[in-house]
Structure 1
Amino acid sequence: MDLKALAEQVARAQPFTQHLGAEVVRVEGEEVEFALKVRPEFYQHLGVVHGGVISALLDNALTFAGGLALGPNVLTVEFKVNFLRPAKGERLRALGRVVHAGRRLAVVQGEAYSEEPEPRLIALAQGTISQV
């Protein structure tokens, strides 16, 4: 089974993910990477990317990683984001990976990067994904 193609299909079925323009970049093992092009409406008043955009990208990466371990019908139960520095640049990437998976829950971690022009770590996240 082509997991990247499956992840792309699920991402295309999510209107909010499509609205953001987020796309699946890589699916490998228990890791999923998403990326999006930064648009002017993503900025907040200080000229950096709004934390909600970064959080949404991380949520996708974490949830899709959890889905690799638990199956495609999953939802985020909770997640926490630590913002490390303001996001600048034309593109953001988020990587999600499974730390531990049981039968119904998976603990996942993620990293978000801003490409400005060199990748810079901008946020870390951890969450719990549940099978529905």
Structure 2
Amino acid sequence: MDLNQLGKEVLKAQPFSQYLGMELLSAGEEGVELALKVRPEFYQHLGVVHGGVIAALMDNALTFAGGLVLGPEVLTVEFKLNFLRPAKGERLLARSKVVQAGKRLAVVQGEIYSEEPEPRLVALGQGTIAKV
């Protein structure tokens, strides 16, 4: 089975990710790309995407990238998220890649862009992913 197909099956098995509407665009040696269509209920009171939505997208992006090298049975041990600017627009795009991996742990970095009319970097993240 190829990595894209495996990733799509794993994403389909996650009720929370399905509820949010996450979509796996690609998974391969170069990393992972996930997308999320922004719905009105994702906004907070200032009219920008809530940080919890961005954090959920980053968590999945990091974990999926870690799963590319550790296998599909992985969990996030920890992650850090820097919000760079408010996210607006119709869709968020997450890109992530493994920085270093061993037998049981992988350190992964990610970026999230909002497609406003043109893509803008809105968040950076780094996390540790563990094989279970």
* TM interval, short-chain normalised: over 0.9
Code of the aligned partner of 1:102: G
Partner of 1:27 in structure 2?
27
- Work out the CA distance in 1 between the residues paired with 2:12 and 2:128: 23
- Work out the CA distance in 2 between the residues paired with 1:109 and 1:73: 19
Unpaired stretches in structure 2, ≥5 consecutive residues: none
Q: CA RMSD in A?
A: 0.6
- 1:49-91 per-residue CA deviation (whole Å, 9 max, x = no partner) reads 0000011011111000000010110000000000000000000
Code of the aligned partner of 1:121: L
Mapped contact 2:28–2:68 kept (Cα < 8 A): no
Post-superposition, which runs of at least 4 consecutive aligned residues in structure 1 deviate over 3 A?
Answer: none
Mapped contact 2:81–2:123 kept (Cα < 8 A): yes
Partner of 1:49 in structure 2?
49
When normalised by structure 2's length, the TM-score is 0.98
Partner of 1:100 in structure 2?
100
When normalised by structure 1's length, the TM-score is 0.98
| Identical aligned residues as a percent | 74
Unpaired stretches in structure 1, ≥5 consecutive residues: none
- Work out the CA distance in 2 between the residues paired with 1:106 and 1:20: 26
Code of the aligned partner of 2:43: Y
Q: Secondary structure at the match of 2:77?
A: strand
